[in-house]
Amino acid sequence: MLKDKVIIITGGAGLIGKELVKAVVENKGTAVIADIDLNKAEQTKNQLSKMFKSSCVDFVSLDITSKDSTKECLSYVHSKYKKIDALVNNAYPRNKSYGKHFFEVDYEDFVDNVGMNLGGYFLSSQIFGKFFQDQGHGNIVNISSIYGLIAPKFEIYENTDMTVPIEYSAIKSGLINLTKYMAKYFKDSGIRVNAISPGGILDKQPEEFIKNYNSYCLSKGMLNANDLNGTLVYLLSDLSSFVNGQNIIVDDGFVL
């Protein structure tokens, strides 16, 4: 479904990003892992190249909070492949203070984390959006969250050390509206912009939390990272040519 398409995935060496890269390669696209951790990106590239016996995996250094880094990433990919079909905004930069409860969050940390993440998505979309405009076509997929749509269900975090940081809700809700804004702003340019809002992704969370979370779902409960793959492939493929400005929820009914 993605044959001959060149797709950049930011944060492509991470938990979700790695699965998104796999989905692109499985569907005969070229996946470029764009990650701030260059060693991890290279390891992921080598692992997936061996797994799929494919040369359609590449990697490049990218810090989405840096204009120079983003431009260098774009230049490298365009120079090598002569085109870029899509950008998947998946990276999640945050500072060392991220993850605190509401009353423990300093103003400076709130601004820093929102700026790095939501600001980083804006920056990469702006730079790649201009390139797509000049190229005459392009596709941007933003990875948001169910907590960009609803208030957290704080009760599922009881008896655990976990919480939903206030920055997360601000970032993910802002990202959904950024998606709609850009889709409309790029009208008649050949550029589509959509978002995916996943539910909780399994990542060694406490059993008590998983039990509480799953009680709000309809069948499976918490997702594996690769449960997003079908939706991503659809949005990157020509099957969704007229899907624009949308946010697709993949959460096993958690928000219902």
Residues recognised as catalytic: 168
DSSP the chain: --TT-EEEEETTTSHHHHHHHHHHHHTT-EEEEEES-HHHHHHHHHHHHHHHT-S-EEEEE--TT-HHHHHHHHHHHHHHHS---EEEE------TTTT--GGG--HHHHHHHHHHHHHHHHHHHHHHHHHHHHHT-EEEEEE--GGGTS---GGGGTTSS----HHHHHHHHHHHHHHHHHHHHTTTTTEEEEEEEE--B-SS--HHHHHHHHTTSSSS-SBPGGGGHHHHHHHHSGGGTT--S-EEEESTTTT-
Give Cβ neighbours of residue 214 (< 8 Å, ≥ 6 apart): 221, 222
CB 248 within 8 A of CB 195: yes
Residues in the chain: 256
